[in-house]
């Protein structure tokens, strides 16, 4: 019977019902066959696992060790453990906590500059002298990355302990810390620091990586890294967000964001608003980066000081901006210094090799060297794809160097057209145009130089930053005394 336009409802119904019965019968057979196959498969799996378990039995594993080796082990260890080596008698006692009589601030951070040549950890180091000048004792705990432990004194006199996190609690107690300052809390840090946080006022700083998704700076990863590590990084994001929620939701914890932008990012990531938020920028040390009045001639001295290790520093944009500037008739009059190091150094600087007025200097600058370079420069070409504050931009501005950068992330919170040259996201042509504007309008350049210094001083000077942190610390101390 073929399908027919004039097929009656009854005939159609019979056709459909017949087909339904046939199909259901086939399905039942399929299901039965499927069950049989699964039973057989499961039985095979069970047999295989049973064999595996048998092989894992300790006595069978021991039997597989060569006889001579077994004898040697027996001789060296004897038949019983020596007295007192295991058991309750050997458990370490909990160190009782007694707060120091002097205000002792214990900072937990991922890095601290042990000597002056290192830039890492500077945001915390810049605070140290202000804390000490205010009468606080200040110590730093840095989680060890290689499992080793040591205590040292940094060049600025700060006691620095580098050790595994399981010794944080012990160190904090033995040191008699009175307040806990955690910079960039990660799940690992918080799992140990939370015990200390119960004992003393705690302040937490959100700088960037600890309170955003890794995908926010996905461009810092290669495609292979994203493919291989993406799922694990996503899982870690979940952990991070969970810990941040715990921290931020606690009204006893002062949550300090280095910018309003960072606050919005962190709270969105954590999925909660901070119970006790503060926006306090990182301090820019005006003494370390002293202001020098710039003349028109300084505008021809351009410095590019960047890490070439991560794409968020935009070193490719810097190169493309310089290549764009080559179209200008005055390009050869510029003196451009490109300083930095990292995995993209070769790739990003290759187009610049051979340019007579571009010097390429491989290496990282410590704070004092950075200060020298900035003092010799007039313009800082500092592209960026993401920044929670832009410390280097602020330090350049403090010195009177006019920054040329991208108006992305937190940057517009710290610069505007009155004190810098701003380009759009990914806009290397805009960066080049910024430099060109400064070159072609020397009066404007001089005005921006002064304005940049003024902005850095009034926004990120000590009075507006670390002094506010000290106030928080003082209030927390008073509250804990009253409580």
Partner 1 sequence: MNPTPNERLLVAAMAGGDPGIKALSAGREVDFVERVPHEVGLTIRHEKWVDGVCRSERSVRHQVADPALFTAAAIRLVDETAPTTMRSLPCLIHQPEAAPTLVETLVGALASRVVLVFEDTPYNGSILRLENLADRCFVPDQTAAHRWSGQHVVTADIARIDEPEPLAVLMAGDAAADPPATPEAHRVLIVSYFGPPSTLVSVQRLSYWHEHLAPLAAEQGTNLHVEWLTATAAGRHHDRVRTVMDRSDNLTDSRRAQLAEMHSMKLPTIGVSWLDAAAAELDRWTDPFDTVIISVGPFGYVDLGLAVKERWDARVIIDFRDPYGGDARMGFTLERRTWANTHERAAIEAADAIVSVNDRCLDVIGRGIDIERRIVNNGFDDVSIDEAREGFVNERNDGLIRLAYCGTIFRHLPLDDVLDALHATRHRLLHAGRDQSLSQALAHTVVGRGLGFITDGVELNRILLGCDAGIIRVGGEATTATTKVFDYIGCDLDIIVVTDGAPRSGALHQMTDGLEGVFWVRNDPDELAEFFATYVPTQAPRPERVSFSRRAQTQNLLDLILTDRSR
Question: Measuring CA to CA, which residue among 199, 209, 280 is closest to residue 244?
Answer: 209
Min CB(234)–partner 1 separation in Å: 12
Q: Residue 404: beta bridge partners? A: 381, 421
| Residue among 190 and 386 whose Cβ is closer to partner 1 | 386
Contact by Cβ (8 Å): 456, 284? yes
319 sits near partner 1 (criterion: CB under 8 A): yes
69 sits near partner 1 (criterion: CB under 8 A): no
The H or E element containing residue 385 is none
Check residue 109 and report its DSSP letter: -
320 sits near partner 1 (criterion: CB under 8 A): yes
| Nearby residues of 460 by Cβ (< 8 Å), 6 or more positions away | 281, 282, 283, 284, 394, 398, 414
d(CA 392, CA 403): 9
Q: C-alpha distances in angstroms, 306 versus 144, 364, 387, 394, 459?
A: 26, 8, 13, 14, 23
Min CB(16)–partner 1 separation in Å: 4
133 sits near partner 1 (criterion: CB under 8 A): no
224 sits near partner 1 (criterion: CB under 8 A): yes
Min CB(41)–partner 1 separation in Å: 18
User: Which one of residues 212, 306, 385, 455 is an interface residue with partner 1 (CB under 8 A)?
Assistant: 385
Burial string for 337-353 (b: 16+ CB within 10 Å, else e) reads bbbbebebbeebbeebe
15 sits near partner 1 (criterion: CB under 8 A): yes
Other C-beta atoms lying within 10 Å of the C-beta of residue 82: 8
Site string for partner 1, 276-315 (x = CB under 8 A): -----------------------------------x----
| Residue among 2 and 101 whose Cβ is closer to partner 1 | 2
17 sits near partner 1 (criterion: CB under 8 A): yes
| Nearby residues of 183 by Cβ (< 8 Å), 6 or more positions away | 107, 108, 109, 110, 123, 124, 204, 205, 207
User: Which one of residues 239, 250, 426, 467 is an interface residue with partner 1 (CB under 8 A)?
Assistant: 426
Query: Given strand 277-279, what is the order of strands in its sheet?
Result: 150-153, 159-163, 137-143, 104-108, 179-183, 202-206, 253-257, 277-279
| Residue among 12 and 48 whose Cβ is closer to partner 1 | 12
| Residue among 170 and 220 whose Cβ is closer to partner 1 | 220
| Residue among 247 and 317 whose Cβ is closer to partner 1 | 317
Min CB(123)–partner 1 separation in Å: 26
Give the binding-site size for partner 1 (rule: CB under 8 A): 44
28 sits near partner 1 (criterion: CB under 8 A): no
DSSP-derived 3-state class of residue 355: coil
31 sits near partner 1 (criterion: CB under 8 A): no
d(CA 313, CA 220): 9
227 sits near partner 1 (criterion: CB under 8 A): yes
Check residue 167 and report its DSSP letter: G
Taken as a whole, the chain contains a residue count of 483
Min CB(268)–partner 1 separation in Å: 19
Min CB(18)–partner 1 separation in Å: 8
| Residue among 302 and 318 whose Cβ is closer to partner 1 | 318
Point out which span in 13-21, 34-42, 172-180, 272-280 binds partner 1 (CB under 8 A). 13-21
DSSP-derived 3-state class of residue 205: strand
354 sits near partner 1 (criterion: CB under 8 A): no
DSSP string for residues in 267-322 = HHHHTS--SSEEE-PPPP-TTTS------GGGGGEEEEE--SS-GGG-HHHHHHHH
Return the ∠ at Cα 230 (arms to 229 and 233), rounded to 5°: 85
User: Which one of residues 131, 141, 205, 221 is an interface residue with partner 1 (CB under 8 A)?
Assistant: 221
Beta strand pairing call for 179-183 and 202-206: parallel
User: Which one of residues 61, 149, 295, 347 is an interface residue with partner 1 (CB under 8 A)?
Assistant: 347
Min CB(82)–partner 1 separation in Å: 54
22 sits near partner 1 (criterion: CB under 8 A): yes
User: Which one of residues 285, 316, 387, 427 is an interface residue with partner 1 (CB under 8 A)?
Assistant: 316
235 sits near partner 1 (criterion: CB under 8 A): no
478 sits near partner 1 (criterion: CB under 8 A): no
222 sits near partner 1 (criterion: CB under 8 A): yes
The CB-side HSE value for 154 (13 A sphere, CA atoms) comes to 27
333 sits near partner 1 (criterion: CB under 8 A): no
Contact by Cβ (8 Å): 432, 324? yes
Min CB(317)–partner 1 separation in Å: 8
Q: C-alpha distances in angstroms, 146 versus 107, 232, 368?
A: 20, 21, 28
387 sits near partner 1 (criterion: CB under 8 A): no
User: Which one of residues 323, 335, 355, 450 is an interface residue with partner 1 (CB under 8 A)?
Assistant: 323
382 sits near partner 1 (criterion: CB under 8 A): no
Check residue 97 and report its DSSP letter: P
Residues near partner 1 (CB under 8 A) are 1-5, 7-9, 12-13, 15-17, 19-20, 22-24, 26, 30, 215, 218-219, 221-224, 226-227, 230, 311, 316, 319-320, 323-324, 344, 347-348, 350-351, 385, 426, 429
């Amino acid at each position: 019977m073929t399908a027919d336009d004039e097929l009656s409802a009854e005939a159609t119904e019979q056709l459909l019902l017949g087909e339904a019965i046939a199909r259901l019968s086939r399905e039942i057979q399929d299901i039965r066959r499927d069950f049989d196959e699964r039973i057989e498969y499961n039985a095979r799996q069970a047999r295989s696992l049973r064999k595996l378990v048998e092989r894992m039995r300790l006595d069978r594993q021991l039997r597989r060790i060569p006889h001579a080796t077994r004898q040697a082990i027996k001789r060296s260890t004897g038949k019983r453990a020596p007295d007192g080596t295991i058991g309750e008698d050997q458990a370490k006692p909990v160190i009782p906590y007694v707060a120091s009589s002097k205000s002792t601030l214990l900072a937990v951070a991922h890095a601290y500059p042990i000597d002056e040549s290192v830039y890492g950890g500077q945001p915390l180091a810049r605070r140290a002298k202000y804390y000490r000048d205010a009468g606080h004792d200040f110590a730093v705990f840095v989680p060890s990355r290689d499992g080793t432990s040591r205590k040292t004194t940094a060049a600025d006199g700060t006691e620095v302990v580098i050790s595994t996190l399981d010794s944080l609690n012990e160190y904090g107690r033995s040191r008699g810390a009175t307040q806990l300052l955690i910079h960039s809390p990660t799940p690992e840090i918080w799992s140990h620091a939370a015990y200390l946080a119960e004992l003393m006022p705690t302040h937490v700083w959100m700088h960037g990586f600890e309170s955003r998704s890794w995908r926010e700076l996905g461009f810092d990863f290669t495609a292979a890294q994203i493919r291989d590590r993406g799922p694990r990084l996503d899982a870690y994001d979940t952990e991070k967000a969970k810990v941040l929620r715990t921290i931020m939701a606690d009204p006893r914890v002062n949550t300090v964001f280095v910018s309003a932008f960072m606050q919005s990012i962190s709270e969105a990531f954590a999925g909660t608003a901070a119970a006790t938020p503060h926006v306090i920028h990182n301090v820019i040390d005006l003494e370390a980066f002293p202001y020098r009045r710039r003349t028109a001639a300084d505008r021809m001295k351009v410095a590019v000081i960047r890490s070439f290790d991560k794409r968020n520093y935009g070193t490719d944009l810097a190169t493309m901006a310089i290549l764009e500037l080559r179209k200008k008739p005055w390009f050869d009059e510029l003196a451009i210094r490109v300083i930095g190091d990292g995995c993209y150094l070769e790739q990003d600087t290759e187009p610049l090799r051979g340019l007579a007025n571009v010097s390429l200097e491989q290496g990282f600058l410590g704070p004092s060297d950075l200060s020298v370079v900035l003092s010799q420069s007039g313009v800082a070409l500092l592209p960026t794809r993401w920044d929670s504050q832009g410390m280097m931009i602020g330090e350049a501005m403090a010195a009177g160097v006019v920054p040329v950068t991208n108006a992305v992330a937190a940057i517009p919170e710290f610069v505007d057209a009155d004190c810098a040259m701003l380009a759009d996201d990914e806009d290397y042509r805009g960066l080049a145009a910024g430099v060109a504007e400064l070159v072609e309008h020397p009066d404007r350049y001089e005005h921006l130089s002064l304005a940049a210094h003024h902005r850095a001083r009034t926004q990120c000077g000590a009075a507006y930053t670390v002094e506010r942190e000290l106030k928080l610390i003082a209030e927390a101390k008073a509250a804990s005394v009253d409580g």
